[in-house]
Structure 1
Amino acid sequence: MGRDFPKNHSVFTWIITSILIFVLGVTTGILVIVWLERKIKPIVKRRHYSGNLGGDSFLFNIGPAVVVVPVFFNYLVIPLGHRIILADLDIGVFYWIAVSSIAPLGLLMAGYGSNNKYSFLGCLRVAAQSISYEIPLALINI
């Protein structure tokens, strides 16, 4: 009813391949930039990375995944072109709001799991900032 798949399978394959290449390219670029930042910034500031020493290793390791996974789930309802959408949901805006509100929990998990009061204060600040951006964005979309 609402789904119009291309008649030619090669066109459909080309669309899916281009979307996957785009998402993988952006993800790889972000991973490389974050990795370089974590390696270069301590050298510039003359400090050593201590890592997870004495914290809750489960929360420390699962926190970034809880932040990144909802971002990929948000791509399901974002139209990538004319009639090119991965999941045509009737409640697309509400789904987007619900899934994007999970990210601050991952930020809090990672900060609390580090067992460092400054990391915890930083994660509280970032979580409050992301929540304060989500509320007006949700009001605009409704």
Structure 2
Amino acid sequence: MKQFLVHWATTAVALGVTAWVLPGVRISSLAALLVAALALGFVNAVIKPLLLLLTLPFTVLTLGLFYFVVNGLSFAFAAWLVPGFGVRSFWSAILGALLVGVVSWFIGSFRQAEPEQHRHVDVRHIKRVGPPPPP
């Protein structure tokens, strides 16, 4: 639950920065920002994988560039779902999705990794070096 809240807050901050920087992305209130971050997470978790699967031939043909279009469509769909969150144009949606991703990555780079993420590295280290000497 903690990780969900941290991820949600990170997305909300990234979305707020995006709305502040890009004139084509509009958020009317703090409540709209928080609901939009939740909707964006839902769209990215549920709808975007289906959209990626359906558009896979276009993504392959364009050597991955169509992925930006899918990101923009997901961003625009989240804006359509949430009152108070708007996107002016398709290009604003693509740039907004890109900026949310970059800002989220930037914020996430300052967070410490959870211990579960380091467990595999520790196990490999123990196997390679051996167990610690007895006290």
Q: Per the shorter chain, which TM-score range?
A: under 0.3
Q: Tell me which protein shows more helix as a share of its residues.
A: 2
TM-score (structure 2 length as normaliser): 0.27
Could you say which structure has the greater relative contact order, defined with CA pairs below 8 angstroms and 6 or more residues apart?
2
TM-score (structure 1 length as normaliser): 0.27
Q: Tell me which protein shows more strand as a share of its residues.
A: 2
